[in-house]
Amino acid sequence: MILKTNGERLWDSLMEMATIGPGERGGSRRLALTDADIEGRNLFRKWADEAGCTFRLDTMGNLFARRNGKNPEAPPVLAGSHLDTQPSGGRFDGILGVLGGLEVVRSLNDHRIETESSVEIVVWTNEEGARFYPAMMGSGVFSGIFDQSEIYTHLDPDGFTVEEELRRTKQLGDTPCKSFPIRAYYELHIEQGPILEAENTKIGVVTGGQGTYWTHITLHGQGSHAGTTPMHLRKDPIMGASRIITGLREIVLKQPGAVGTVGRLETKPASINSIPGQVFFTVDTRHPNEEILANINLDLKNLVNSICSEEGLENEFSIIWEAPTINFHEECVTKVRNAAESLGYSHCDIVSGAGHDACQMSHIAPTGMIFIPCEGGLSHDEAENTTPEQVAAGADVLLNSILASANH
C-alpha cells in the first residue's frame, strides 16, 4: 500500500514555524537554546500533542514525540532533525525533517493506520553548531560520540555554557541522553546543494556523507603602527593568513570533490591604523574519502608551518572536530529508493556534502536520508527555498520508508 501525506498542511506548518525568530530577508534566526528556539520547540510540542503524541526530554534537551504502535516494547522507528538555525538561516534546513516527521504522524492518524513499531519524531539540540560548537551536538552525545559532561562546559560567544542554557530554558530533561534500541532512523532534508535541481530530479537517495575536519588556526606576529613600520620589517599575521588561505584553495583544488572554507577571520587589535599582533581563523575541509581528507589537512598544517617560518610568525594549529565518512544502512537506503520508485518520483543516489544528525545516528542505528531539491542549491542563507510540490514528495517518501520499517 502506497500512501501520500497532506503536502498543503506540511507547507502551512513550515511557513508558520518560519514566523518564529524571523530573519531580515524572509528566513529564520533561531540559534540553539535561545528564546526563539524554545518558542519554535513549543509550537512543535503543541502540534505533536494535538496529533496524540507523548513526550520525553533528555539531559541534552533532545525532544522525542512518540506515537505508540501495536507493540510498544518493539524498537521504534525514529524520524527527525533540528529546529535551530544559522544566524541568517532558511525556513527548511532541519525544520523540514522535524515537521516532515510530524506530517507522517498526522497522515498515519488520517488513514487510521496503526504501525507495528512505535514512531518517534525527534528534535535534536544544536545541530547547526552556530552558537555552541560542535555541530550535531545533541545527536552526538546521544550516539556516544561526544561526552555530555564535557559538552556541558562549552561556551557561546557571550560566555554562557551549554548546561546553563539548558537549565535556563527548561530543556534539561530527566531522561538520560544515551542510545536505546532503534529499528531505523530516517531524516528528510533539503539537499543544500545544486545537483538535484540541475538534474531535474525529485528525490535524492542519500547513500552516505563525506568526512569533515574543523580546524582553528591562530597566527602570532608583532603588533605595530601602520604608518611607521617598514614593510620589510613587519611580522604581520594577516599577511601570513592571506597566503595560507590562498594556499588552502590550491591544496583543495588538486583533489576532485574536495571543498575548503574559511568561515571566520578575526584580527587583534581590530584597528584600521594598526598592524595586528594576532589573527585567528577557522578552516572547514571536506571530502568523501577519509585518506584524501587526512592528507589535505596534513598539507594544510605543513603550509601553515612553512609560511609562518617565512613571515616570522608563531602559530597554533588545532583540529577541534573530526567527522568520519559515513555510509548509510543498505536496508534503509533500499527502502527510500523503493518508496521513491513506488511513488513514481524521479530519483538518484547522492552523497551528502553537509553533516547531519543522521550521520551521528548511523553509528548506532540503521539510518537513511531523503533529499529534495533546493533553489539554486542555496542553504545556510535566508534565500534558501524549495517548493510545496518538492516538500510533499519528500514527505511522501519519508512516510512510506517509515511504514516499511515500522511494519517489518
Per-residue pLDDT reduced to its tens digit, 38-53: 999 999 999 999 999 9
Rounded Cα–Cα distance for residues 1 and 6 (Å) = 17
66 touches 55 (CB < 8 A): yes
Per-residue pLDDT reduced to its tens digit, 170-185: 999 999 999 999 999 9
**Stretch 303-311: mean pLDDT, rounded?**
98
**Stretch 195-204: mean pLDDT, rounded?**
97
Give pLDDT, residue 291.
Answer: 95
Give pLDDT, residue 337.
Answer: 98
Rounded Cα–Cα distance for residues 238 and 276 (Å) = 7
The pLDDT of residue 106 is above 90 = yes
Task: Specify burial of residue 120 (Cβ count, 10 A radius: 0-12, 13-18, 19+).
Answer: buried
Rounded Cα–Cα distance for residues 95 and 43 (Å) = 12
The pLDDT of residue 149 is above 80 = yes
Secondary structure element (H or E) that encloses residue 138, with its range:
helix 137-142
Q: Per CATH, which fold does 7-210+325-406 belong to? A: Aminopeptidase (3.40.630)
- pLDDT band at residue 211 using 50, 70 and 90 as cut-offs: very high
Cell 511557513 belongs to which residue?
Answer: 15
Give pLDDT, residue 323.
Answer: 84
**Stretch 157-167: mean pLDDT, rounded?**
98
Listed in sequence order, the residues at least 6 apart from 155 whose beta carbon sits closer than 8 Å to its beta carbon are 132, 161
Give pLDDT, residue 294.
Answer: 96
User: What's the DSSP call for residue 302?
Assistant: H
388 touches 3 (CB < 8 A): no
Domain spans, the chain: 7-210+325-406, 211-323
Q: Per CATH, which fold does 211-323 belong to? A: Alpha-Beta Plaits (3.30.70)
- pLDDT band at residue 353 using 50, 70 and 90 as cut-offs: confident
φ/ψ bin of 326: left (φ > 0), alpha (ψ from -120 to 50), beta (otherwise)? beta
**Stretch 332-354: mean pLDDT, rounded?**
96
Give pLDDT, residue 1.
Answer: 74
**Stretch 195-208: mean pLDDT, rounded?**
97
8 touches 15 (CB < 8 A): no
**Can the peptide bond before residue 388 be classed as cis, meaning omega within 30 degrees of 0?**
no
- pLDDT band at residue 355 using 50, 70 and 90 as cut-offs: confident
Give pLDDT, residue 295.
Answer: 97
Per-residue pLDDT reduced to its tens digit, 310-323: 999 999 999 998 88
Give pLDDT, residue 408.
Answer: 79
The pLDDT of residue 265 is above 90 = yes
220 forms beta bridges with 278, 314
Give pLDDT, residue 324.
Answer: 86
Per-residue pLDDT reduced to its tens digit, 118-146: 999 999 999 999 999 899 999 999 999 99
Rounded Cα–Cα distance for residues 210 and 282 (Å) = 19
What percentage of the chain exceeds 90 in pLDDT? Answer: 96
- pLDDT band at residue 72 using 50, 70 and 90 as cut-offs: very high
Average pLDDT, the chain: 97
**Stretch 76-97: mean pLDDT, rounded?**
98
Rg (CA), the chain: 23
Return the closest-CA partner of residue 139 out of 183, 131, 130, 129: 129
